Structure 1
Amino acid sequence: MEYVVRPNRTLRTSLLSFTAVAVLLAATACGSSDSGASSATGLNPPDLKAQSKLGKTEDQVNLVAWAGYVEDGSNDPKVDWVSDFEMQTGCQVNSKVAASSDEMVKLMKTGQYDAVSASGDASLRLIASGDAAPVNTSLVPNYKDVFSGLKNGAWNSVDGKMYGIPHGRGANLLMYNTQKVTPAPTSWSAVFDDAPKHKGHVTAYDSPIYIADAALYLKATKPELKIKNPYALDQKQFDAAVALLKKQSGNVGEYWSDYLKEISAFKSGDSVVGTTWQVIANLAQDEGAKVKAFVPKEGSTGWSDTWMISAKAKHPNCAYKWMDWIISPKVNAQVAEYFGEAPANSKACTETSDKSFCDTFHAADESYWKNIAFWNTPIEQCLDGRTDVKCVPYAKWVQAWTEIKG
């Protein structure tokens, strides 16, 4: 990777749990009878109120997080942003690494945890079910410096009400072997319509959410389908995406979820073209693979994580202190470099050890992120605002993915 603080072996191993985000379930709770105003997406979350002011901090805070987000020096003595937080606030941090978004949702439903670093596929479920409370952003001073593109997203807000504090973001890129894939691709057609050119050497992300990648491609190439949002697919649109992926499967050599295996496959030539993350592309290049990665002309899917507070939080004041701490410039820079993602705080870019880090990860390039469709949870109420049809919920995506892979 092109920055100074590189993921160590412990983090590389622990980060495999992040890739288990593929194990997702559908949003089954879509609000209750005491819901507030209806949102444009069809979500009617319970009418919960955000905390109005901070009180005395409690003695602890219980967090659910992705590996690499809550580091206290136990994985690497040089990587610790928890100890200073504990000293400054008196809040003892207790954290549990979750292996999937589904696990995060289940843990938050127990009421034993105060906050969670939810990805877009989990955050919508937590909002809809009332397990996540709205946040009072005025109680998080560092929120003012969060990049505008991370505020009021479809995955972390409803009707303009924020349900979390943005942590960071990343894009799902197209990576190719520069020696074996010529001319250089410009489109996702390299892994769909043109996939037979590299039969057996195409790779794809192993997750039902990858159906959205096919939908994104069809949005651009099959305008007659009228796809507006790759996570809001009616039955006809969904069937078209599934059909495209079934056709693609005959050319796929490997579906990846372990990013170390993807690096190895590109180094050996077993894979020559497919989806990737920026952190994977950088590591692959560092290890000698002749690869390039980019956002194709159709745009791309991506992910954005948000710290959300439990509606049942027993330590809400410490939770608010944590949310402000984790997006403070210096700490947010440390997390971003350690994990390999674009930071949420605009001032974090002056704190990174590699001064080109934010350029590499397009942290401040909002025009770049406008072409990224961040992961969200498909539900029957179409996320694109349509009310004349029902969209295919995520449970059906899971079933279809099994069929696609055969």
Structure 2
Amino acid sequence: MKKHLLAPAAALAALGLALSGCASSDGGDGEAAGGLQIDVPEIPMMEELGENENEVNILAWSGFVEPAWAEQFTAETGCTVNRKIFATSDEAVQLMRTGEYDLVSASGDASLRLIVDGNVQPLNTELIPNFGDDIVEGMKGQLYDTLNGNVYGIPIGRGANILQYNSDVVTEDPTSWDVVWEADSPYAGKIAAYDSPIYIADAAIYLMATQPDLGIENPYALDETQLQAAVDLLKQQNGMVSEYWNPTTNISSFTGGNSVVGTSWEVLRKATGDEKFKSVLPEEGSTGWSDAWMLAADAEHPNCAYAWMDYTSSPEVNGQIAMGFGMAPANGAFCEMSDEAKEHCDYYNATDEDYYKQVWFWTTPIDQCLDGRTDVQCTNYQDWTAAWATVKG
């Protein structure tokens, strides 16, 4: 069900997955979220809406564009929805660069690449009435989709990468990621790890807590020394891993007994259908994912695209997407609509900002250090892709 990256082929890196974010020299309009300055292509923002075109072409994760609400949208707007499902963030980036799609549901491990490479345009939120006070604060103004004072992404939903465990085997409830990283883990050989270069950030989070002398301040801002430390930890873990999972293998890995502890998503834990599988957000914090609609720089159907972003930001439709997919909705008003909605929101900690303050949402690593350092060059996504290949061998 959930998606995101599978291990990308090395050839993808050669197609331009690496980014070069350079500090803005003007000191004015280059300020990004958190005060960071990054040069991005100047692409005009729509000032007003025109008449709806007859269609809109959308790239989406599975479950984000379903017939039930797409057909209602068409009835209300006259915009026929043409959907293409993608399986990984890398695939989404490649497809958006073809110029054939108006919108994409991008995760944080894709969105910054699209912004810096000029593939998407800034959004005029005044033209999206449902992007208002009900959108949870923790999904606004984030570095992965907000730069230079411009909004590039309309939030859809979010989730944390949690520590899942089989309580029949892991009888002492874990509170730390040490059970998956330390060489003396009693669960060696039964540890599930996410299959993606972005998993390097999980190692970095653990190192932030256990090796503070490395100076890691942001798990997506690693210089060469810090990246090597994360890779060394990942290589140590490699000998203990039972399976590098993707969403289609995670559930079977746990239910089949191949894995007893490791990273997972709440939606996948729920899908096991077995209460013996429990989860925790460990004391070190975790990585996570946040998805948003992004509009192509040269969108052929921008008016229908804006209509879609507004439509799917309403509490009713955003809630349907969140429940059908298995994530925290972006529109917090949905959580008050029914007992079922409240139960869903409670399960995914939808409006609990204290919970999500512990989550480092996926953000594409770029040459410019996202922690604000200017005395070193950080490693980028291409570096991470190459490093990940050495981890898995």
Note whether the superposition's TM-score is higher than 0.5.
Answer: yes
TM-score tier after normalising by the smaller chain length: over 0.9
Matched, 1:227 2:216: yes
Match of 1:184 in 2: 173
Match of 2:288 in 1: 302
Question: What per-residue deviation string (whole Å, max 9, x for no partner) do you get for residues 37-96 of structure 1?
Answer: 334545201122211111111111111111111111xxxxxxx11001000001111111
Letter matched to residue 284 of structure 2: E
Match of 2:193 in 1: 204
Match runs of 1:315-326 below 5 Å: 315-326=301-312
Matched, 1:345 2:331: yes
- Which of 21, 25, 47 aligns to 2:42? It is 47
- Which of 18, 29, 37 aligns to 1:37? It is 29
Match of 1:393 in 2: 380
* Partner-residue secondary structure (3-state), 1:197: coil
Match runs of 1:307-386 below 5 Å: 307-351=293-337, 353-386=340-373
Match of 2:159 in 1: 170
Instruction: Decide whether aligned partners of structure 1 residues 163 and 34 sit closer, same or farther in structure 2, where only a CA change above 3 A counts.
Output: farther
TM-score by length of 1: 0.89
Instruction: Quote the offset at 1:160 in angstroms.
Output: 2.8
Letter matched to residue 81 of structure 1: W
- Which of 268, 276, 298 aligns to 1:290? It is 276
Query: What is the CA RMSD across the aligned residues, in angstroms?
Result: 2.0
Structure 1, gaps ≥5 residues long: 1-11, 73-79
Instruction: Decide whether aligned partners of structure 1 residues 22 and 141 sit closer, same or farther in structure 2, where only a CA change above 3 A counts.
Output: farther
Instruction: Quote the offset at 1:385 in angstroms.
Output: 1.0
- Which of 98, 102, 111 aligns to 2:99? It is 111
Instruction: Quote the offset at 1:363 in angstroms.
Output: 0.5
Question: What per-residue deviation string (whole Å, max 9, x for no partner) do you get for residues 167-224 of structure 1?
Answer: 1101100011112113211001110016531121111001111010000011111111
Match of 2:391 in 1: 404
CA contact (8 A) 2:106 2:292 kept: yes
Matches of 2:41 and 2:281 in 1, distance apart?
37
* Partner-residue secondary structure (3-state), 2:62: coil
Match of 1:271 in 2: 259
Letter matched to residue 213 of structure 2: E
Instruction: Decide whether aligned partners of structure 1 residues 264 and 106 sit closer, same or farther in structure 2, where only a CA change above 3 A counts.
Output: closer
Instruction: Quote the offset at 1:293 in angstroms.
Output: 0.7
Letter matched to residue 385 of structure 1: G
TM-score by length of 2: 0.92
Matches of 2:37 and 2:389 in 1, distance apart?
28
- In percent, how many aligned pairs have the same letter? 51
Matches of 1:197 and 1:93 in 2, distance apart?
51
Letter matched to residue 320 of structure 1: Y
* Partner-residue secondary structure (3-state), 1:219: helix
Structure 2, gaps ≥5 residues long: none
Letter matched to residue 369 of structure 2: C
CA contact (8 A) 2:179 2:185 kept: no
Instruction: Quote the offset at 1:114 in angstroms.
Output: 1.1
Matches of 2:312 and 2:230 in 1, distance apart?
38
Matches of 1:351 and 1:84 in 2, distance apart?
20
- Which of 225, 242, 245 aligns to 2:231? It is 242
Instruction: Quote the offset at 1:398 in angstroms.
Output: 1.0
Matched, 1:124 2:112: yes
Matches of 2:254 and 2:89 in 1, distance apart?
28
Matches of 1:92 and 1:32 in 2, distance apart?
41
Matches of 2:215 and 2:377 in 1, distance apart?
15
* Partner-residue secondary structure (3-state), 1:132: coil
Matches of 1:343 and 1:22 in 2, distance apart?
27
* Partner-residue secondary structure (3-state), 2:181: coil
* Partner-residue secondary structure (3-state), 2:189: coil
* Partner-residue secondary structure (3-state), 2:364: coil
Matches of 1:342 and 1:360 in 2, distance apart?
8
